[in-house]
Structures are given as C-alpha cells and as structure tokens.
Amino acid sequence: MFVLPPPPRYPVAGYPGAPGGGQLIETNNTLTHPTGPEHQLVVGEGTYVLRDNLHLATPPPHPSEAPVHNPNPLATTVSPPTAGTKLSIVVVAPRQQSHSRLFRLDTANSTRSQVPPSIQESPNESNSQASDAGSQSVNGNGVTAAPREGLHAPAFGSGNSALAVLNGKDSKDPLKRRKPKSNIVKSNSSFVSRVIPHEALTKRLQEHNPNGLYAFANVNRALQWLDLTSSTKEEHFTKILFTKAHALCHDVNQSTKGPGHVDIILGFSTGDIIWYEPMSQKYTRINKNGAINSTAVSDIRWLPNSENLFLAAHMDGSLIVYDKEKEDAPFVAEDQEQVQAETEKKARLVVKKSVNSKNQKFNPVSYWKTSNSKINAFAFSPDCRHVAVVSEDGSFRIIDFLKEQLLHQYMSYYGGMICVCWSPDGRYVVTGGQDDLVSIWSLEDSMLVARCQGHNSWVTAVQFDPWRCDERNYRIGSVGEDCRLLLWDFSVGMLHRPRAASVRQRSSVTSATLKMQRTRTDGSNTRLRSNSNLTSGSMLDEEEVVHEVEPRARTAMLPPVMAKKVDEHPLCWLGFEEDCIMTSCSNGHIRTYDRPKEGAGSEEVSTTASASNA
Amino acid sequence: MASFFGRLKAGNGPASPASSAPPAKKDPNAPQLTPLEKLLQDAGPVRADGSDKFFGFENFGSTCYCNSIVQCLYYSVPFREQVINFPARSPPEALERPATGPLPRLNTNLLPDANAQNSTLSPKGRNSFSAPNAASPRKPVLTPGGTIIPGQPQKPEDNKDSPEYKKKQALAAGPVLSMDYENSKAYGMSESLFSALKDIFEAVIAHPSHIGVVSPHKFLEILRRENEMFRTPMHQDAHEFLNLLLNEVVENVEHFSKTRVHEIEDKDTNATISQSDAVVNGTAPSNIGWVHELFEGTLTSETRCLTCENTSQRDEAFLDLSVDLEQHSSVTSCLRKFSEEEMLCERNKFHCDKCGGLQEAEKRMKVKRLPRILALHLKRFKYTEDLQRLQKLFHRVVYPYYLRLFNTTDDAEDPDRLYELYAVVVHIGGGPYHGHYVSIIKTQDRGWLLFDDEMVEPVDKAYVRRFFGGEDQLACAYVLFYQETTEEAMMKEQEEESLAAAEQAAEVNTEPISVTTPKANGLGLANGHDHNLATTPTVEKDDQFASLNHAVTAPALHTGEHSNNLEHVATSIPILGKRQSNIASKKEKAERVKEEKERKAMEKELEKQAKAKRKELEVQRRELFRKQEEDLRAALAASRESATEENKKRGKDGGAELPELEKDKSANGLGSISKGSGLSRFRHSSMSLRHKPKFWSGSKDDRKDDPEMPSTPVVAEVEQAAQGTPGKEEKKNRFSLGRKKSTFHL
C-alpha cells in the first residue's frame, strides 16, 4: 500500500537548540499579488480585482505537543475541534459609516412591531450601560459613533438591579478603559506558549492610520494581529501562540474600541475564553479549564453596545453570557429553572440562569440552552434585540435575548446549518448550511423567502454587503467548502412574486398553496407554547414557534449573480469592507478584492446593477 | 472431551459479553473488555429481529469488499427483514446452524477461542489467502486447560491498539460462525448467493451471542464459483460487488418464484414436495419484487434532438447511482451534476428516430421515482490518460447526515423525501488495485459502529465525517447508503443523540480518571499542565459514545446530574463557595458509588439467575432440537430426492442448479465467454455520467489494455492478474452492456 505523502506544510529544518532536530520552525507570513483574469470577480457593477493574497503561516505544533502520527487511518482517537482562519476586523477611529444609512429605523420598525414593546423598556431609558456606551464614544474618540439603533433597545439585563449595580460601580470614570489583569508577554501560564511582538511595534502603532483596518486572525494555535492597511501587512503586529488550544472564534468590541484600546474576546477549543487587549498586551482568562462549561466555544460575540458582556456558544448547545470582568464560579442551574427544565422536556429554550437572577457576583451572567446539539454560529440583529442561532441539527432559531425567549425555530432543507447573518435593516436573516443552500428568511412574514442554489458544497459563511444594499435591494455574499465565492442579489419586489411561479412550473401549484395554508393552520393548532419559565412572561403565545420545512416546489430558487473559485482550500470566512471584499480559507490564505472603481459608494450604480441582476 | 467443552461454551453463549467479565475479575492481568463489549454490557436477551447483533466477518484475504458490503446490507433493516422472511420465515428448527447444531464442526470452530493466546500469536496472517473450502481455514491449536481469556502477558510488540491485534482478538474470542453449510433446501430454493446470504443472516440472528465473527465460506464459495472476477485473491471493487450481489438477489428471488409457480401447478401430479416447501408456498409469489421496492428508483432520461427539437424520454431503473466527483464538492452537488444537461455530440451522437440518423442532442437524467434506500457510489477510481491506468481520486467530497434530492423530475412523487445516512463503505489505500474496505454503519439503537472485518468497534457520530477525503486522506468514503426517513424521526433521533451525549458528559465528569487515561498518548497530561480537563475536547468526547447510550436498559441514574457534576470539574478554582460544593459533590459521589455498587450487585445476581435459567432452557431446547433434527433429516432426505428429480426434469434452464454449476466450473478453466451471457443480470446497472465523452472512450480503450503499470507494491499481484486473460474477456462482456464503470477489475 503506497501512501500519498501529505503536502509539506512547514519547511522541515533543524530548529536550533531544539532536541531531536528536525523540529518544525516558525515561518513568516507571505504576501503575493497574483494578477490575471482568474483573480477577478466580474459582476454587474464592475470588476473586483484581487489586491493581494496574504498567507498566514501555520505555526508548528508546540514542542510538548509533537504531532501524533497515527499510521492507522481508521484510528478512533478523537482530535480536538479546530477552525479555519477567520478575521475580526476593527477600525479604531469610528468612521462616518457609509452603511449606517442602512440601519434604518423605519424599516426595522416593522420587525420590531412584531414584538410587543417590552415592559422593561421604560426603566431602561435611564440605563447606565447604554448611555455609558454612547457617551463613551463621544468622549473617547471625539467622533460620534454611528448611532446604532440598538441605543433604542434596552440593554441586556438592564432590568436587573444586581447587574446594574455592578456595572455602574466602575462607570464613574468613563474615560479610562479597564484593562485585563495579566500581562500576556510576561505570563507564565501554561495556556499561552509564546508571544511574538513585532520588533517595531510601537512605531508601527503610531504610524497606523486610524481609519485603517486592524485584523485579528486565528491560524491553528496562533492568533495574529495584523494591520491590513499597512504596506507591510504580512508582518504581524503581535502573534500569540497558545500551547495547544486553538482559538475557534473571536470578536472585537465595537463600542469600546479606540486608538489606544481594543477589547477582543477569543473562544477556544478547550472551552476557555480569553479577553485580550492588544495595545497593553493584557489578558484575562474566563471559563478557565471549562469551569462553567467544558465544551469548546464555537462562536463568540460581544453583546451589542455592551462594554462588558459577551455571548459565547458552546458546542453542547449552551449559550452563555459572560462578563469580561467577573470571576468564574462553578455553574449550577438555578434551582427552580432546573426543575422546570427537567420536567418540561419540550422546552425549546431552557433558561438555566436568567439575566434577572439576583446572583450576579460571578460568571455566568446568564445561561441558556437551545438543544444539546452543537451551535455552529449566531448573529445579533441590528436592532439589538434578537439573536439568530444556527445548529448542527439543522435548526435555526430566533431568540429574543432581552426577554430570553425563543421566537421562531426553522429547519434547514436538510443537514446542519453553518452560518447566519442579518440584513443591515434587520428584516431578513440569511443562513447557509450543509444543504449547499443559502436560505433567505423574512422576519416580517416569519417564513422562508428564497433558497439560493449555486454552491457546490457546504456554505460556510454568509454576509450582506451593506454598501450594496438599500431598502429594496440586497447584495449577499457567501463562501463555501467548494472554495468559491458567490454573490447574490435579491430585491423585495422579486420576493413578493408568487413563489411557485418563480420556480419552474410544477404540476401542483394550486394544491401546493392550499397545502401551505393547511399546514399553516395546523401549525398554529399544534404550536408549542413558549416557555413558561420565562420571567418576562409569554408575550408571544400567539406566535407559532416551530416551523416546518418548506417543500422545494413552493420556494423560490435564486441563482447567483457571480460565482468564482477564489481559493485552493475550503473557504471559511467572508467580509465586506467599504473598499474591498475579503475571504479567508481553512489554510490561512486571506484574499482581498478591490471593489470596482466607479461603482464604489455610488448608490445609483449599485441600485441599477442589483435591480438588473435581480 | 473437546466436543463437550464446545457445547458447554455454546451454552454460555447468550451471556458472552457478561460472561467474559468474571474471569477478568479473577485475573487482574486479563485483558479489558473491548469497547464493543462495554457497549453491550447492558444488552438484554437477544432479539428476534437481529438488530442487536454485532458480528465481524472473517477476512480470507482481500475479501473485505464482501465483508463491508454484507455488513451494510445486514444493517439495512428492511433488507434484512426481507431476506429473513423470503420466501417465508423459516422455522428455526428447520435450519442447520453453525453453533447450536450438535455437529463435530462446532469443535473446530470453538477451539480457537479456547486458546486465544495461541491463535493470537500463531503466524496465521489474515491476509493469507485461503480457498473457501468446507474446512475451517483457521488452525485449531490445542492447549491444555483452555481458559477463555488467558492471563498470560501479551507479547510486547503486539500493539493492542492496532486493528490487526483487535481482529485476532475478535477471532479468538469468538464465537465464530463457520458458514460452510447451506440451508437452501430448507428455504425451498436452489443454492445461490441469496440463500448463502440468508444463511449468514439467519445464523447471526439465531446465535445466542450478541457478538462474534462470521466466516462466510459458503457465500464466498458460491460467489467465486459463479463469478470469475471474484475468484482471484485480489483486491476487488466493493461497489462492483454490491451491484452484483443486488442483481444476484433479484435474480435468485425471481428465479425462485418462477419455479415456485411452476411447482404449484405441478403440485397435484408431483407428490414429493418437501415439508419446508409446503411452508413456503402460501406467501411466495406476493413479495417477489422486494429488492426493487427497496433499492430501485427510476431515472428518466430526456433527450432533445437539436436538429428536430424532438424530445424523447426513456425510463431506466437503477439500484444505485454512480456519481462523478469534483474536488471540493458535496454529494448534493455531485448528484446535481449527475442530472445536468449534457451534450451528445461528436463521437457520442444521438440516434434520433424522428429525423433518422445521428444527431447532436441534449440529454439529462433526473430521478423520477426515488428509491427507499439510496446507494450512492462515489466514483473514486478514474482512468487517467497520462498515466494510462485507473487512479484513485482523493477529492474532498463532503456528505451530510441527511439528504434530499434536487435532481428529481417535476412529476416525481414525494420529491422532498428526506434521507438519512446510515452506512458508509470506506476505501483505504492509495489506488484502485489494492487497499482495504471497512464500513461504518448506524445501527438501530447502538449508534455508529466501525466494521473492519472481524473487528467491530463503536465510534462517535463525528467519526463518520472523517472520510470526506482530501489530499492527505488515505481513507475516503466510497459507497454511501441513505435510507428514507421522516422529519419527526430525524428530530427525535437528534434529540436522543444529543441527550445521550449529555449523559455521557455527565458520566465522564464523574470519573475524571477515565477522562484522562484514554489520552495516554501525551495529550492528556502534557507537562503537568493544570488543565487536564481542558485538554479533553469534551464535545468530541461526548460524541464519541454519543449514541451508545440510548439502550432502553441503560440506568437512568445519571440523568439530570450533568450540571451538578460540573462542580467537580471546577474544584481547582479558588472562589467562594467552592468548598461547599466540593464537599457536597464528594458526598454525592460517595452515594453514587454506593448506588452503583448496589446496582451492579443486583445486576450480577440477576445475570446469574438468568444464566442458570438460560442454561436450563438451552438443555431443553437442545433435546427438542435433536428430536426435530431427526424428523427434519428424514424430511430433507425426501426433499433432496425430489430436488434431484426436479433437476433432471428441468434440465438446462436451471442455471443455478448444482450439477449445472459444476459443469460451468470446469468450463471456466478455459475461458469464461460462456459466463458472459450470464452477466445480462446487469440490466439494472448503475447509471453513470457521460459528461466527458473522451473519458468514456478513453476508459474503454483502457480496458483492452492490460494494467501493466500499477503502483509498485502490487507488481506481483498485477502480474498474476495480467496472466488472467479469461478475466479480461469477461470484462469486455460486462462493459459492452453500455455500463460505464470507472473501475478496473482484476
């Protein structure tokens, strides 16, 4: 039996001073500028041209973690979860965001009108946290942050005095950002293996254009801090090597960022979470050794407009809100809830610890469980009230996280769901998954709007391009395991066409619509009551919560406007910036495509382009 | 003396997973329970439907293609049921059994278990090719004493984690069902692959043990007798075999029902119909088409002539779909590509009936009737022109646990049918001419299991996803089995799976030692880091035995303690309240341990009682059985007589009859052209893509060439194959049936 040798990933060379020789060494990132038509994306509005291809060096395994070479391909040893390169991007100086116009209150109102105003809303007006965040950005940066409509939504947990007291305690001095406790460079923690700062870090920090992009990218067991606008962007600012844990997800806090401060949280394969401040090189470890939840963190995000709180999705289906500054305490489900959870097996969202719990001295702040299957991703709505959660079991849930209540549960066509994203106006949610489909869901109609078919493999990331969206037309991008980037345009007008007519004529159009009506009424008869263990009461009793899978014959199929293989490896992340589209792959390649020159920022062009394409 | 011992062992059979535990206790050095045994510790008495049987299959040298496919079919529940129930559920007494029958064969089979050590150390390589003769190929080595599990220390070089070791152990532990007999007469059928398959299924189901090893001698014998290409000890194509087997079964069943109808007509005149035949007569003709019902779907190929715009439709039946692969794609996309429009042009023009003559045309194939079981063949073996031979494609092709088909026709019934993945045949190796096949199968209530010849091992659900393929992946999925299911069933199962995972997590957390020890490969305790818990990726850990716990008999003890158990995990963190919880948890733990002990004692007691009872029953049963056996033998003798008479009468048309076959066998030495005609059974051939006509013609050419340039390690094998000219003759015949196959058969 001959064995195909795996492609050499590292230059095999002697590592000076390393025992045994043949050790793998650290390598540098490489930057290439491939040109040619195969590196261009041709869309209606123009041609996106590859600016560069940055390859992040995969770090060698930790010396104590020599790779286990198991010659048996059937070995049943379990390998820890890992993730391809993803980026968290931050612009320290808040721009007058061109896409802020898309966070429209009027359009989003329709979404919100679905949810009756919460009883908590009025006390929230005096909420310290939200106003703090607002004032902070004014004070700290001298520039008003793009007014997110989230300011109109109550802050998470604002009804709870136990939480408010603690938050209010330190907010006396809003000018001074609190930093994490330990220095990562001097750390002797066995969790962090090495920190490699750039030799001219301070100089480069000073040179950094405040409007430029900082990126934090994970590669294997490393996390790199990059300056994407620098001419030497392949040289990382800081590289942190963790001993064995892989950072699977990370997020930058947009409401605390500033020229001298960036809060980033990292979720690890070991379940640990690190709050890291790169400028001061300080960090704090949360959920240490899985004290609260021992399963890997699959996705992590700061709560919108919150300085301290972030939500982590663990692989056992738990959604946990942590406070970056609180200590861990071993988690026990709060009694009455647990009893209820145990008795009420049908509960779709078990609140193990409510944000309204009086016991808020330690982490977690709140602890929910959707199901036992792995959560692959989640996303907060632009109105800062809802979170969309997608899981490996193919479910897609919309949760009102302020009320800790499940609003909707949909299913994929088949297979697990991998990624989720909200439209900038909060009216649509887009998911991608193992059915090779990008699915567009409407919140107003609480239904599947269209399925987008075009990927040749699983869809790993979806994003709206806010610079090419307006009230009626939306641009969606998606990347997948097929190494391809696809762009989709859909317009509201198109969506209101009778769906059966937009697909190829099927034999049973009328019967299908009849059937749909029937299933709808059936659905409301057999609907599941929302959890009664919710503190805010069941406001949404009238809503049907669990939705059935739509047959293919009744759903519109949307073709892509552009499909292009952009990488040699499965892609895992996609980002839209004002001047570019970025993708990253499982192997650490970050590709940046410049937007077409004349089309960028011009609303008319974008509208006509997307309209003609739709 | 030996036979006495053997019988005793057989009596112990039902408790085999449990009965191996006591000696383990006596002897601290005794080997631990295998993962499978651990899994089955709570298994109750055997069920009648065979859903709780986990038998490995012995490999007689490159017969893994057969083992992996037969395993998949066994766990295709409706298929298994049909095999057992066709022509009719045979009364168990009527069948010859490998282990329960009081025949001397039993001894040779069971002796190797009596001295596991010897057979483990014996130089008998599992790769040595042994002809499927009637005698057991294993070398029975006698040792005095004959302890079931010897306490002698293992040879150090015998790596206990190696599959080879585990396979030897499985063979040694037994029970081994030597399938070197046949019951076709009892089924009222002629000897065929189907009857041999039925024999295997019946024997496995009837055996009182949950685990064991099947030695499918007869099955392979028939297979090789009737199919030239499988006669060599070479690596074979598992999909090829699946196709052959399904078609054989179809043919055998059809043949049987034809003759049956015939016989019923003759019944009045012919009074020599045997006892077992009489049982069969009532039900036989009603369910002939069950293989079709399960595996068969319909493809509609629409061809539109580009000259006259005339569209012609043709329906074709398929038993499995062969799809071309692309790098970095999914099964969904492969299936969609399968149904994409293709141009028929140049050498591949279409003969249009309307305009008369070869014309350019557009063709596409869509699924009109969806099969209940969808067997998907990923065409990993592809002819490459620059290398002039078949090559394995290591493309990464992802497959989801659940699937629906996009490529259905507009008028298809239930076009949104949901399928679930339940079996994967994996090919391990660098090329098509060699390698190994294993299967990973989802069992009804024991989750996913890896079937690697003799070895059966529980694996976690995520393990199934390791065989997507990729540049450095030697092991890739080759055949995928999806079966129809419902959304409700899917939800229920996912809930159960994840619940089991949570329970598993709870259990793992109560025994921190067991968490770290399996990680002895340095992952767990590296550098004495304080986060040994963190090092175990708990999710994966959970998943590992995720679905193993849904057995009904599982103690409900650990449910709901998940969150409590988390306390133990956190004891190293210096926070208020830690002490308290620690103490509480310790107390709890002690209680739990106590409970556990009590429960175990109870179980043991029960087990003992059950064993005694079973033994008693066994004795009674055997007595009864002997009586029936005698009756039966008389009946069988009568039926045999009648059968030979019938044979004489029927003469040539009974192709599968024994005397005929013997003739055939001798003819095969000269050349198998005569066999070629028999291959018309491939009319239900798998459908293939013809997107790139040049490949088609290219591979056609290739088939005429001989494969003189395969990869180096198999030169000897290939030379051997190159000499086998009759095989090539057969090949041509096979492919002339318009069936495009990427595989090359040696």
Q: Say yes or no: ipTM exceeds 0.85.
A: no
Q: Which residues 155-174 of chain B have a CB within 8 Å of chain A?
A: 161-163
Give the C-alpha separation, B476 to B414, whole Å. 31
CATH of A26-67+412-503+555-614, one of 2.130.10.10, 3.40.50.740, 3.90.550.10, 1.20.120.330: 2.130.10.10
Q: Is the dihedral of CA A444, A448, A449, A454 positive or negative?
A: positive
Give the C-alpha separation, A541 to A527, whole Å. 9
pLDDT attached to residue A61: 83
Is A76 within 8 Å of B457 when comparing Cβ atoms?
yes
DSSP code at position A208: S
Q: Which of A189, A456, A550 to mutate to test the interface with B (most CBs of B within 10 A)?
A: A456
CB atoms within 10 A of CB B505: 24
Query: How far B49 CA lies from chain A's nearest CA (Å)?
Result: 29
Within B536-652, where are the H helices?
538-544, 562-569, 578-650
DSSP code at position A546: B
> Catalytic residue at B210?
no
Give the C-alpha separation, B398 to B377, whole Å. 13
Task: Give B-chain residues touching A293 at CB under 8 angstroms.
Answer: 566
Q: What is the mean pLDDT of residues B506-517?
A: 42
**Residue B20, SS3 per DSSP:** coil
Is A74 within 8 Å of B578 when comparing Cβ atoms?
no
Yes or no: say if A482 and B330 are a contact pair by the CB < 8 Å rule.
yes
Q: Which residues 451-510 of chain B have a CB within 8 Å of chain A?
A: 452, 457, 459-460, 462-463, 471-475, 487, 490-491, 494-495, 497-499, 501-502, 505, 509
Q: What architecture (CATH level 2) is domain B296-485+692-735?
A: Alpha-Beta Complex (3.90)
pLDDT attached to residue B484: 93
Question: Closest chain A residue to B426 measured between Cα atoms?
Answer: A74
Yes or no: say if A413 and A451 are a contact pair by the CB < 8 Å rule.
yes
Yes or no: say if B453 and B59 are a contact pair by the CB < 8 Å rule.
yes
Neighbour order of strands in the sheet with B211-215: B54-57, B211-215, B176-178
Q: Which of A297, A335, A414, A548 to mutate to test the interface with B (most CBs of B within 10 A)?
A: A414
- Is the bond leading into A364 cis (omega within 30 degrees of zero)? yes
Count of residues for chain B? 746
Q: Express the helix, strand and coil content of chain A in percent, nearest 5 each.
A: 20, 30, 50
Longest dimension (CA), chain B: 93
Task: Give B-chain residues touching A554 at CB under 8 angstroms.
Answer: none
Match 């930057």 to its residue by tokens: A31
Match 């049943």 to its residue by tokens: A76
Burial class of residue A9 (count of CB atoms within 10 Å of its CB; 0-12, 13-18, 19+): middle
Spans of all domains in chain B? 1-30+55-288+636-671, 296-485+692-735
Task: Give B-chain residues touching A296 at CB under 8 angstroms.
Answer: 537-539
Query: How far A506 CA lies from chain B's nearest CA (Å)?
Result: 6
> Catalytic residue at B64?
yes
Compute the mean pLDDT over every residue in chain B, rounded to the nearest whole number: 66
Give the C-alpha separation, B158 to A234, whole Å. 49
Give the C-alpha separation, A307 to B39, whole Å. 48
Yes or no: say if A272 and A289 are a contact pair by the CB < 8 Å rule.
yes
pLDDT attached to residue A569: 92
Strand (E) or helix (H) holding B368: strand B361-369
Of B328, B544, B577, the CB nearest to A329: B577
Which of A276, A254, A255 minimizes the C-alpha distance to A264? A276
Strand (E) or helix (H) holding B508: helix B487-510
Between B520 and A454, whose confidence is greater?
Answer: A454
Q: Which residues 378-407 of chain B have a CB within 8 Å of chain A?
A: 394, 396, 398, 400-404, 406
Residue B14 confidence (pLDDT) above 70: no
pLDDT attached to residue B368: 92
pLDDT in tens, B199-242: 899 888 888 888 889 998 889 888 888 888 888 777 788 998 99
Is A414 within 8 Å of B438 when comparing Cβ atoms?
no
Burial class of residue B531 (count of CB atoms within 10 Å of its CB; 0-12, 13-18, 19+): buried
Is A76 within 8 Å of B459 when comparing Cβ atoms?
yes
Match 């003189």 to its residue by tokens: B708
**Residue A39, SS3 per DSSP:** helix
Yes or no: say if A228 and A183 are a contact pair by the CB < 8 Å rule.
no
Match 């055949």 to its residue by tokens: B479
From the list B207, B427, B436, B558, the catalytic residue is: B436
pLDDT attached to residue B590: 58
Residue A150 confidence (pLDDT) above 60: no
Is A292 within 8 Å of B411 when comparing Cβ atoms?
no
Give the C-alpha separation, A159 to A161, whole Å. 6
Where does the pLDDT of residue B643 fall: very low under 50, low under 70, confident under 90, or very high at 90 and above?
Answer: low
Give the C-alpha separation, A553 to A437, whole Å. 15
Spans of all domains in chain A? 26-67+412-503+555-614
Compute the mean pLDDT over every residue in chain A, rounded to the nearest whole number: 76
From the list B64, B305, B334, B476, the catalytic residue is: B64
Of B402, B463, B505, the CB nearest to A414: B402
Of A68, A291, A455, the CB nearest to B573: A291
Of B430, B523, B533, the CB nearest to A294: B533
Give the C-alpha separation, B246 to B253, whole Å. 11
pLDDT attached to residue B370: 93
Yes or no: say if B328 and A482 are a contact pair by the CB < 8 Å rule.
yes
A168-182, A257-271, A427-441 — which is least confidently predicted? A168-182
pLDDT attached to residue A68: 63
Yes or no: say if A296 and A81 are a contact pair by the CB < 8 Å rule.
yes
Q: In the numeric block, which tokens belong to residue A264?
A: 């980033």
Strand (E) or helix (H) holding B203: helix B193-206
Of B430, B491, B544, the CB nearest to A3: B430
Q: What is the mean pLDDT of residues B49-75?
A: 89
pLDDT attached to residue B61: 81
- Collect all residues with Cβ–Cβ distance below 8 Å to B606 and sequence separation of at least 6: none
Is B162 within 8 Å of A72 when comparing Cβ atoms?
yes
Yes or no: say if A354 and A157 are a contact pair by the CB < 8 Å rule.
no
Is B400 within 8 Å of A190 when comparing Cβ atoms?
no
Please list the residues that pair with B436 across neighbouring strands.
B428
Specify the amino acid at residue B556: A
Rounded to a whole number of angstroms, the distance between the first and last alpha carbons of chain A is: 53
pTM: 0.70
**Residue B348, SS3 per DSSP:** helix
Of A293, A333, A507, the CB nearest to B411: A507
Where does the pLDDT of residue B24 fall: very low under 50, low under 70, confident under 90, or very high at 90 and above?
Answer: very low
Give the C-alpha separation, B536 to B549, whole Å. 20
pLDDT in tens, B542-594: 333 333 333 333 333 443 334 344 334 333 333 443 344 444 445 555 566 66
Q: Is B647 on the interface with A (CB under 8 A)?
A: no
Neighbour order of strands in the sheet with A213-219: A87-91, A213-219, A222-227, A238-242, A192-197
Q: In the numeric block, which tokens belong to residue A269?
A: 């394969």
**Cα A609–chain centre separation:** 28
Q: Which residues 298-337 of chain B have a CB within 8 Å of chain A?
A: 326, 328-330, 332-333
Is A328 within 8 Å of B573 when comparing Cβ atoms?
yes
Q: Is B431 on the interface with A (CB under 8 A)?
A: yes
Q: What is the mean pLDDT of residues B524-535?
A: 37
Which of A314, A277, A317 minimizes the C-alpha distance to A299? A314
**B357 φψ region: left (φ > 0), alpha (ψ -120 to 50), beta (else):** left
Q: Which residues 570-589 of chain B have a CB within 8 Å of chain A?
A: 570-573, 575-578, 581
Task: Give A-chain residues touching B544 at CB under 8 angstroms.
Answer: 76, 78
pLDDT attached to residue A495: 58
Give the C-alpha separation, A82 to A85, whole Å. 10
Give the C-alpha separation, A261 to A255, whole Å. 11
DSSP string, A242-274: ESS--EEEEEE-TTT-BTTB--EEEEETTS-EE
pLDDT attached to residue A121: 36
User: What are B239-242's contacts with CB under 8 Å, separation 24+?
Assistant: B239/B320, B239/B322, B239/B377, B239/B425, B239/B478, B239/B479, B239/B686, B239/B743, B240/B65, B240/B741, B240/B743, B240/B745, B241/B65, B241/B66, B241/B69, B242/B69, B242/B72, B242/B320, B242/B375, B242/B377, B242/B425, B242/B479
Is A332 within 8 Å of B563 when comparing Cβ atoms?
yes
pLDDT attached to residue B730: 38
Rounded to a whole number of angstroms, the distance between the first and last alpha carbons of chain B is: 46
Would strands A589-594 and A46-55 be described as parallel, antiparallel, or unpaired? antiparallel
Would strands A350-353 and A366-369 be described as parallel, antiparallel, or unpaired? antiparallel
Yes or no: say if B273 and B267 are a contact pair by the CB < 8 Å rule.
yes
pLDDT in tens, A344-360: 555 578 888 888 888 88
Yes or no: say if B72 and B481 are a contact pair by the CB < 8 Å rule.
yes
Where does the pLDDT of residue B123 fall: very low under 50, low under 70, confident under 90, or very high at 90 and above?
Answer: very low
Question: Closest chain B residue to A66 measured between Cα atoms?
Answer: B522
Task: Give B-chain residues touching A331 at CB under 8 angstroms.
Answer: 563, 566
pLDDT attached to residue A319: 93
Q: What is the CA angle B28-B29-B32, rounded to 5? A: 90
Give the C-alpha separation, B424 to B399, whole Å. 10
Residue A264 confidence (pLDDT) above 60: yes
Task: Give A-chain residues touching B571 at CB under 8 angstroms.
Answer: 330
- Quote the radius of gyration of chain B (alpha carbons, Å): 28
Between A303 and B172, whose confidence is greater?
Answer: A303
Between B157 and A241, whose confidence is greater?
Answer: A241
State which of A3-7, A424-428, B642-646, B739-743 shows the largest mean pLDDT.
Answer: A424-428
CB atoms within 10 A of CB B341: 11
